[in-house]
Amino acid sequence: MSANGTITPSSLSIKDLHWQIDWNKDACTLCGQCTAVCPVKALELGVFRKRHVDVPMGLSGKVENKFSLFYGIRQKTEPKHACIGCAMCSQVCPNDAILPRRNDEADKQRYHIDQGGQPLKRGGRRKSEGAGILDRIKFTRISMLTDPALDAGRHEFDIKTLLGRVLPPKEQIQRQMKGEWVPPVREIYPLVIGGMSFGALSPTMWEGLQMGVAYLNEELGMPVRICTGEGGCPPRLLRSEFLKYVILQVASGYFGWDEIIHAIPEMKVDPCAIEIKYGQGAKPGDGGLLMWHKVNKLIAAIRGVPTGVSLPSPPTHQTQYSIEESVAKMIQSMSMAWNFRVPVYPKISASSTSLAVLNNLTRNPYAAGLAIDGEDGGTGAAYNVSMNHMGHPIASSLRDCYKTLVEIGMENELPLSAGGGIGKNGNLAANAASLIMLGASMVQTGKYVMQAAAGCVGSEADRCNVCNLGICPKGITSQDPRLYRRLDPEHVAQRVVDMYVSFDTELKKIIAPLGRSTSLPIGMSDALGIDDRDAAERLDIKYMV
């Protein structure tokens, strides 16, 4: 409604909003906590006028309208202030007087979210309904009398995988005897915390993740690794012993890499690996984006940029114009920076061109593997049109790549890493095991870690998902001290440890009936089945009903 009382084209009514706020007037004490904590300012204190009809007792009396005033909570209807359903208001309300409710009948808000001519950007994941392909895959090979059965609770398992180019045994022995260079290989845990940058995540969240990974390695003997994402990392981490648990990512914006390069002579240990990001599943063909809301003095200093400016990365590395040139320049230059002691591999978006990239990597002796990110990958900031309408499912892209490696006899030499929607419906171990049996040597997950370790309230139903705006109500993806102080890094670290111990138990329950204990069932697709004939044919697994 405009100042003169006319209705503007972008006005919405409460019934048109995806999320509506139910407020109990009788229970509310007008403490104002809900309005203070709302990240999008969807609530305001207002004055209401209530009409009372005074009906006389007799037939000759006149009906009168009487009005009373009261104070209460009003929900705003402007699209920029539309409720996101995070439920922070209900969490802080001392009287349970308020609760957001999803309105599935709303169909007008989508036409008004482009106010100012700007397409909607959001964090989180694409909107998806029902179970995906990974959640529908079943493990059908169960050892009973045919193979030695293992006890998942008592048997000892060695659940590790190799990151790096693994030479055939004969060739490796010959090189070692001649004193020639042998590609570096790391023995790691098959579940990697995917790239979430110091900038996209809050300082407390990042610190909690690092503490959890350190505890898993030092105390529990689980060689878990974490990827930094784009944007570098704090200088003290680069010069600490814990760098060996970190995969450093370099993307097309090269943010933070001045700090990393300058720290190389002072590094006490080498990083686990270098990941060169060419693409990500949430926005294929586009670079990363850290919006200006998050670029404070600390982030600006680490990335070497001014404060308060958005940091978009180019869609490609600007000095490379072909696959061959990218491999030759980036992989070999990154290998040279650490004197060929550190595995270097690229990360790409899953697409119809994934096989072309893989074929070139097989011919380069310095490529340590290939990471593929499927369409369901999360992100800090992406256009809705990219998240919801672009990309390629991870299962089929991974399967194509693995079968190609099998055809040329390199399935045991060049490891594949898969990511994008792993555990998005809570089935982390089952999804990971499915991808491993489809050909992945390791899997990466990010959004699941945020939800499990820090209590992220974002969902596939477009709840919250304002990771890009720096107003995360939980303090997970915000650089505002008033918000990230809500997050206890020690609690995050404890939850990371709990998550990995639980995942380890479930993964053992899945692979124990396969008779595997000393190696992962990589590519063991005869153990998989699905109730979709087309999917079974596409993935080359069993069809079952």
Mean pLDDT of 204-232: 95
Mean pLDDT of 163-185: 93
Q: Are residues 191 and 329 in the same domain?
A: yes
Q: Where are the alpha helices (DSSP H) in 145-279?
A: 169-178, 203-218, 235-238, 257-263
> For a pLDDT cut of 70, what percent of the chain falls above it?
96
The residues, any chain, with a CB within 8 Å of residue 289's CB and separated by 6 or more, are: 121, 310, 311, 312, 313, 380, 381, 382, 468
Is residue 245, in this structure, part of any structural domain at all? yes
Q: Are residues 143 and 292 in the same domain?
A: yes
User: How far separated are the first and last CA of the chain, in Å rounded?
Assistant: 56
**467 labelled ligand-binding:** no
DSSP 138-154: EE----SSSS----TTT
HSE of 477, CA atoms in CB hemisphere, 13 A: 32
113 vs 427, more confident: 427
CA-to-CA distance for 525 and 330, rounded, in angstroms?
A: 34
Q: Are residues 178 and 230 in the same domain?
A: yes
Question: Structurally, how many domains does the chain consist of?
Answer: 2
Is residue 1, in this structure, part of any structural domain at all? no
pLDDT one-digit tens code per residue, 298-346: 999 999 899 999 999 998 888 777 777 877 788 888 999 999 999 999 9
Residue 89 belongs to domain spanning? 14-118
Is residue 124, in this structure, part of any structural domain at all? no
Closest CA to 98 of 44, 136, 146, 52: 44
The domain that holds 30 is classified in CATH as 3.30.70.20
The domain that holds 303 is classified in CATH as 3.20.20.70
Q: Are residues 177 and 318 in the same domain?
A: yes
**233 labelled ligand-binding:** no
Q: Are residues 110 and 152 in the same domain?
A: no
CA-to-CA distance for 456 and 378, rounded, in angstroms?
A: 13
Q: Which of 92, 118, 144 is the last residue of a domain?
A: 118
Measured in degrees and rounded to the nearest 5, phi and psi for residue 418 equal -120, 140
CA-to-CA distance for 159 and 21, rounded, in angstroms?
A: 47
Q: Are residues 97 and 41 in the same domain?
A: yes
Measured in degrees and rounded to the nearest 5, phi and psi for residue 461 equal -90, 25
**What residue has token string 């998902």?**
465
Question: Three-state SS for 100?
Answer: strand
Is residue 187, in this structure, part of any structural domain at all? yes
pLDDT one-digit tens code per residue, 412-447: 999 999 999 899 888 999 999 999 999 999 999 998
pLDDT number for residue 282: 86
Q: Are residues 141 and 181 in the same domain?
A: yes
Q: Are residues 75 and 220 in the same domain?
A: no
Look at residue 127 and tell me whether its pLDDT is greater than 80: no
Q: Are residues 452 and 357 in the same domain?
A: yes
The residues, any chain, with a CB within 8 Å of residue 357's CB and separated by 6 or more, are: 323, 346, 348, 370
Q: Which of 88, 118, 148 is the last residue of a domain?
A: 118
CA-to-CA distance for 256 and 268, rounded, in angstroms?
A: 19
The size of the chain, in residues, is: 545
pLDDT one-digit tens code per residue, 238-272: 999 999 999 999 999 999 999 999 999 999 999 99
- Going by their DSSP bridges, the two strands 370-373 and 344-349 should be labelled as parallel
DSSP state at residue 8: P
pLDDT one-digit tens code per residue, 59-72: 677 778 888 888 88
